[in-house]
Each structure stands twice: as structure tokens, then as C-alpha cells.
């Protein structure tokens, strides 16, 4: 397992948190996800390093692009 903390500046409320956690939580490769509206960070634990691109693509698709 790999855990990565992503900077997602468009998180602004608990609805955003719920949307992100639901979308990433439905992905087979994701084991655990926690989003925080105050810090604007998403912590995600996933199976393989190459899954990170799918995770960041999903965030972008739902309107929460990752800031590099």
C-alpha cells in the first residue's frame, strides 16, 4: 500500500469532502481516503504506485484538480 497526501485547493466545504471521499472510495484501487476542507488536503491510501494517475484523473473529472 502507498499513502499520498494531495493538495486540492478547490475543497471549500463538507459537501466537497463528501463528494471526494465518495468518488475515490468507490475506486477498487483505493483502500482509504480522507479529505479535509480546512487544510484542503486529501490523504489517499491505494494499492499500487501507478494508480495515482487514475486517482488524480478522477479528482479532476469531479471538479477537484490536484495542485502539483
- CATH value at residue 6: 3.30.70.100
Count of domains forming the chain: 1
- Radius of gyration over every alpha carbon of the chain, rounded to an integer in angstroms: 11
Asked whether the predicted pLDDT for residue 68 surpasses 90, the reply is no
pLDDT digits (tens, 9 = 90+) for 28-66: 999 999 999 999 999 999 998 889 999 999 999 999 999
68 occurs within a structural domain:
no
* Angstrom distance (rounded) from CA 59 to CA 44: 12
| Residues spanned by the domain of 32 | 2-61
What DSSP letter does each residue of the chain carry, written as one string?
A: -EEEEEE-TT--SHHHHHHHHHHHHTSTTEEEEEEETTTTEEEEEES-GGGHHHHHHHHHHTT-PPB-
Amino acid at each position: 500500500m502507498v499513502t499520498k497526501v494531495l493538495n486540492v485547493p478547490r475543497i471549500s466545504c463538507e459537501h466537497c469532502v463528501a463528494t471526494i471521499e465518495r468518488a475515490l472510495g468507490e475506486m477498487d484501487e483505493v483502500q482509504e481516503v480522507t479529505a479535509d476542507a480546512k487544510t484542503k488536503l486529501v490523504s489517499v491510501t491505494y494499492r499500487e504506485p501507478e494508480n495515482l494517475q487514475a486517482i488524480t484523473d478522477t479528482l479532476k473529472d469531479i471538479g477537484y484538480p490536484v495542485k502539483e
